[in-house]
Amino acid sequence: MNSETITAASAGTWKLGDLTVNRVGFGAMRLTGSAAFDLGTPSDRDRSITVLRRAVELGVNHIDTAAFYFSPLRSANELINSALAPYPDDLVITTKVGPGRDPSGTWLPWATPEQLRGQVEENLRQLGRDHLDVVNLRANGTGSIAEHFGALADLRDAGLIRHLGLSNVRPEHLAEAQAIAPVVCVQNRYGIDARRSDEFLHTCGEQGVAFVPFFAIAGEGREMGASGTNGDEILAVARTHRATAAQVRLAWTLHRGPHVLAIPGTGNPDHLVANVAAGALRLSAEELALLESRHQGESKRGD
């Protein structure tokens, strides 16, 4: 693949409400270092800014972030603001709220509904925006999300948020949220080695809701690592296309449906170019069947 000539438009587009995005986007978590939530080594600031600007040059118009994406000395939102403001008219920034902190600063599973407004305002401040394009409520556990999602729906009605989404949720959460306000996207763990959300992915497609996998390149249990173990099936397809295993993983994800978006994250300019180029990788029916056989084999070994 001649990655340098491929842009994010190669995979087509989808609409988040009334906002059109290219299906290959960018995840900002790794801009801060090796991980979020205070972990990892601070990234090189100039390199991170270069990656963001290059992403937009390559046609990326959907960036996924959160106010809690930070490591020592680095905030993903501050980097986005510094690199891209004033923002292109077609750039859609999706952010997340949900985890809270107690007075000592310790992370808690949930923010209170009152704290959610503070998180929204903090995202606005860091990004330098007067409204947020899309806000995902990141759920924790299996309990009801109605109170928390309702709080965000109120902020949407107040004009601080344009569209709402969900992250780390189950189908019953989507139904619960849809009864309160429209949901434009669901962001869940999903990839060729992590298929627990298969049925949910199809449900989202039937409802016109974007399904946005996170950790699509990482293998099972490798959330903070680079990529998972690449079996013979992935490597064989990669050789056929002169592509990388990571590109095959991303291409497979995009083949799951026109409503599936990709948000691979990286702080490496070369990896960025390769990730965007994965949107142009077309897998044949035989190749998809071969990759499916990998999943079936993994499932049997997990029984």
Q: Which residues are catalytic?
A: 69
Closest CA to 168 of 196, 193, 192: 196
Give the residue among 117, 13, 28 at the shortest CA–CA distance from 74.
28
- The rounded distance, in Å, linking the Cα atoms of 27 and 253 is 15
In the chain, the amino acid numbered 32 is: T
Query: Distance between CA 52 and CA 57 in Å, rounded?
Result: 9
Inter-residue contact 217 to 194 (CB < 8 Å): no
Residue the block writes with tokens 């606005």 = 124
Backbone Cα Rg of the chain:
18
For every residue of 234-296, DSSP letters joined together read HHHHHHHHT--HHHHHHHHHHTT-TTB-B----S-HHHHHHHHHGGG-PPPHHHHHHHHHHHH
Which residues are registered as beta bridge partners of 167? Answer: 138, 187
Match 């070994």 to its residue by tokens.
301
Query: For residue 97, which of 70, 121, 125 has the smallest C-alpha distance?
Result: 121
Q: How far apart are the first and last CA of the chain?
A: 37
Q: Half-sphere exposure of 272 toward its Cβ, with a 13 Å CA cutoff?
A: 25
